Copies of this chain bind each other. A is one copy, B any other.
């Protein structure tokens, strides 16, 4: 069993808030992250897959294929987007890093399984100081 990780990046806007809260209540719970005019981040995404090394190639997966799959399943939906308004798999969810990591997992788990490898971990940095890990 071996693990291989691919790092990708996307830039997006978001806001942490509950529509059933007033702006004051959102500010109290979510702080500056509740700004109704949005703010944004350079997100850094680490996708880790696990499985056996294919003796024919020396690869667990071809990273070009893994990267292409992350591009179509995740980055095209998130990069330069508004996470609250434009990302189908986040609709109706609080746009926290936790929920975003889980959403990205759900986008990738099946397509990666179809390659013969298994998705092991989504690690998502919102800033250099904060990251979330989700193992399914």
What residues of chain A have their CB less than 8 Å away from a CB belonging to chain B? 1-9, 11-14, 16, 18, 29-33, 35, 37-42, 48, 53, 56-60, 63-64, 79-82, 85-86, 93-99, 101-102, 127-135
Contact = CB atoms under 8 A, between A and B. Distances in A.
Contact of A4 (B11, B12, B16, B132): B132
A38 B82 contact: yes
Nearest to A84: B37
Given A11-B127, A98-B59, A133 B37 contact: no
Given A63-B130, A80-B39, A98 B4 contact: yes
A28 to B, nearest CB: 11
B81 A7 contact: no
B127 A6 contact: no
Contact of A58 (B2, B39, B93): B93
B7 A133 contact: no
A133 to B, nearest CB: 4
A116 to B, nearest CB: 14
B129 A7 contact: yes
Contacts of A31: 64
Given A11-B41, A41-B11, A41-B42, A2 B35 contact: no
